[in-house]
Amino acid sequence: MKTLALIGILIFSTQAQANFLFISKAEIREVVGPYPEVGSADEALDDSILLDWQDQRTEAECLAAAKQSNNETLKSFFGDVLTKKEIAYLSVRLLRVAAIAGINSARAKSMYDRPRPYDRNSDIKPCIETEKSSSYPSGHTTLARLYGRVLSLRYPSRAEKFMARADQAALNRVLGGVHHPSDIEAGKRLGDYLAKKFYK
C-alpha cells in the first residue's frame, strides 16, 4: 500500500491539493477503533482463526492469494466481474480511489503500528510474501472494499459480485497469514467509510 500512497502524492503535488484525499486522525480513530490488546481473548481469537486457516488452506488458495499480494489492481480484484474494456477504461479513472485508500490506510497503519501476525507469533507461517509495513488496518482490504463500493455505484446490477470479490481479497490476507482477522474487519470499516465520505 506504500505504492498507492506515493501515487497520491505524485498526482497531487501540493499539500493543499492533497488535503481533500485525507480524513482526519480523529475520524480514523473513530472508524477503525483500536486493535485487540496484547494478551486479550480477542487477540487469542485472531491467532486461532489464523492457525485454522493455516491448517486447512490449499496450495491453490495460497497461489490465488499470492497473485493479489503485490498486484493490487482492478484486474486482480475484479477481473472476472469486469470486462477487459471496462478495466482499461476504469484503471486511470479510478486512480483517485487508489490514492484515497492508500493514503488513509498508510496513515492509519502509522498511527496504530501493530506488528504483523508472524512477527508476534512464530507459529503463524505465511504462504505468501511477507510485508514490512504495520498490520492494522489491512490496506489491501481497504482498497478492495473502496473499489467494490465505487464499482457497485457505477454498475449496481453487479454490486453483489463486486462486494463478494472484495471480501475474498480481504480473506486472502488472513488465509495467506499476513494479516490478523481484526485487521481485515478494520480495513472493511475504513473502506466503507471512505466510500461514504468521498463517493456518496
Tens of pLDDT, residue by residue over 34-68, are: 999 999 999 999 999 999 999 999 999 999 999 99
Q: Which three cell numbers stand for residue 176?
A: 495467506
Query: What is the number of other CB atoms lying within 10 angstroms of the CB of residue 117?
Result: 23
9 falls in which pLDDT band (50, 70, 90)? very low
Query: Domains in the chain, start-ordered, CATH in brackets?
Result: 2-19+41-198 (1.20.144.10)
Asked if pLDDT for residue 13 goes beyond 90, the answer is no
Cβ pair 138, 186 in contact under 8 A: yes
Q: What pLDDT does residue 19 have?
A: 54
Q: What pLDDT does residue 31 have?
A: 98
Residue range 82-105, pLDDT digits in tens:
999 999 999 999 999 999 999 999
4 falls in which pLDDT band (50, 70, 90)? very low
> Which residue from 188, 134, 193, 194 is spatially nearest to 166, judged by alpha carbons?
188
Q: What are the CA-CA distances from residue 93 to residues 86, 122, 147, 182 (Å)? A: 11, 42, 12, 31
Q: Mean pLDDT over residues 1-22, rounded?
A: 51
Long-range contacts of 167-171 (CB under 8 A, 24+ apart): 169/68, 169/76, 169/77, 169/140, 169/141, 169/144, 170/138, 170/140, 170/141, 170/144, 170/145
The pTM (predicted TM-score) of the whole model is 0.89
Query: What's the whole-number average pLDDT of the chain?
Result: 91
Q: What pLDDT does residue 15 have?
A: 46
Query: What is the number of other CB atoms lying within 10 angstroms of the CB of residue 24?
Result: 9
Q: Could you give the CA distance from residue 33 to residue 114 in angstroms, rounded to a whole number?
A: 13
Q: What pLDDT does residue 70 have?
A: 81
